[in-house]
Structure 1
Amino acid sequence: MKDNVQQEKGNKWVTRISYAIGAFGNDWFYAVLSTYFIMFVTSHLFGKGDNAMILYITNIIALLRIVELFIDPIIGNAIDRTKTRWGKFKPWIFGGGMVSSIALAVLFTNMGGLNRTHPFIYLAIFAVLYISMDIFIHSKIQVFGQKCLH
């Protein structure tokens, strides 16, 4: 009986520390995205004279923020219906972390010069990568929020 109580206290601390580390990582992710991404687009990806491409990128981001409003309830519903041997939340945390990290790393590249050779293909790939990254980031945020409620 005493061992179970000690084990529950230990699990509670592990959960709290894990949540804190996850929240820190998520905040760091958003800080990188919001601080450095627009600087990367305006100074490294598209130089002077490519104002139209910068306009397209910012419009894509704004449009995807609106689309995200409609996608978030679908993500929350999918998370609620998840039943795996690892539990409801762990696959979303792991998958969300992996996909969003890879997508962010690719977004900070010129995709092999595609931004110069085929700019509209670059924009299409950018839109798909950005919305995928955003969906998986929000799945992690929703999981963290639901774990706090439980």
Structure 2
Amino acid sequence: MAILIIWLLLAIIPAVAADKRGRNAGIWFLIALVISPLVALILVLCSRDLRMERLLASRETAAPASFKSTDPRKLRHSSWLGGRTSTVAIDRAPKLFEPDGVLAGIPYRITADGSVEAVMQGTTVKFRDIDRFTNSISASPPAT
């Protein structure tokens, strides 16, 4: 009897997951009862998210013509999007760092606003001015 109760309780998990993905929770509850809650959960999680597809389709049909591009880089901040998007476009193309000089083995360049960008430990660090840059180099321990 305890196994039957546990089986019923575990069958709720795929039903809830199916409901969150826009599918019929009752059908997935029955599938979980018949085959296995674990197998049903795996099937639900491997299936497409219908709720997200419907949301994207409704945004596509309601969007102005300028927003009907699938390229996320062409989406602009607007009131139509509510000022937020569910996807973030990140430009991961490597950018060439062209230094103005090298100080203590650290390449740096001075930007138009007077700030300093330096490549330190594989990342670009921005300093407010040249004094803060030189102070950070003199304060850091020497590389061994």
| Fold shared by both chains (TM-score > 0.5) | no
Say which structure is richer in helix: 1
More relative contact order, 1 or 2 (CA 8 Å, 6+ apart): 1
